[in-house]
Amino acid sequence: MAEKMATREAYGLALAELGEKHLFYVCDADLSKATRTEHFAKKYPERFFNIGISEGDMMSTAAGMSTCGSPVFASTFAMFAAGRAYDAVRNSIAYPHRNVKICATHAGILINEDGASHQCVEDIALMRVIPEMVVIVPTDAKLTKAAVEEALLYDGPVYIRLGGKYAEELVYDTDISFKIGKGMIVREGTDATIMAVGRMLYQSLLAADMLKAEGISARVVDMSCIKPMDEELVVRCAKETGVIVTAEDHSVIGGLGGAVAEVVSEAHPTVLRRVGVKDKFGMSGSFDEMVKIYGLDAETIFSAVKDAIKAK
């Protein structure tokens, strides 16, 4: 694999690059060094606005700015974007269908040592239940760049979920296309399907290698666009492999696992296992400690696939 890069860093660099050919504005809630929007701010200071530590106001301001005809990106930590500012996101951005892209960094458990107050495991669930909100969880730096550009060209509200200071391994070594509403098969397999988002896709590929060593062929699917979900692909995988395991650094309630369960329960009942945060808050701890405590690793995915195949 190529050198790692944090998705938040890729986001900031993408904004600076895209600013050369597209007119848009960026708002931040006094966290531009952490969200990496500082790359855009340094290059286009007249198009960058630090709203201060006032996340709800930032969302409403971004909504108002977007009515002038240009898209607006609004960034802060996921806990504040999806949690503290929820009312403004729902009523000022989504309800009137404003052209605002909410790009939230520091999402999930595997972000830093700040603890439960800053480790958001609910944001996918909160955002995907809002009508007309697109929800994207990029896998790595390459896909982040493509997703940011796709979101920019999309007319309407988008939530993009990004990581923290710990860099994600690059799954894609070259530039890749991204389409809203589409998943991507990154490895074929016939015995089971692993669907993952964010840094868990890399762990899923490692798990697939482990399964291959035991004679199990696992398909690996990148479901970076959680809403609208590629239901056709989900049903196809359910029919062709008969087993689906989801993997995410988010609560298994309402996240990718919940979304996939909703699809297969109605369209093609399938043996399903969900790897993710099991109805718990986060805690302070090192990256390696958190991976083990919450089971966000290849070994847990490997075990989940074997258990699902056994139950098939």
Torsion angle in degrees (nearest 10) through CA of 82, 87, 92, 94: 60
Q: How far apart are CA 121 and CA 114, in angstroms?
A: 14
Q: Which of 190, 191, 222 is nearest to 205 (CA)?
A: 222
Q: Which of 217, 216, 221 is nearest to 232 (CA)?
A: 221
The secondary structure of 183-246, three-state, reads CEEEECCCCEEEEECCCHHHHHHHHHHHHHCCCCCEEEEECCEEECCCHHHHHHHHHHHCEEEE
Other CB atoms within 10 A of residue 52 CB: 11
Name the residues annotated as catalytic. Answer: 55
Residue type, 251: S
Inter-CA distances, 75 with 11, 54, 149, 185, 286, Å: 10, 12, 16, 30, 25
Q: How far apart are CA 7 and CA 11, in angstroms?
A: 6
Check: CB of residue 164 under 8 Å from CB of residue 199.
no
Return left, alpha or beta for 85; rule: phi > 0 is left, psi -120 to 50 is alpha, else beta.
alpha
**Residue 37 Cα to chain centre, angstroms:** 18
What separation, in Å, do the N-terminal and C-terminal C-alpha atoms of the chain show? Answer: 33
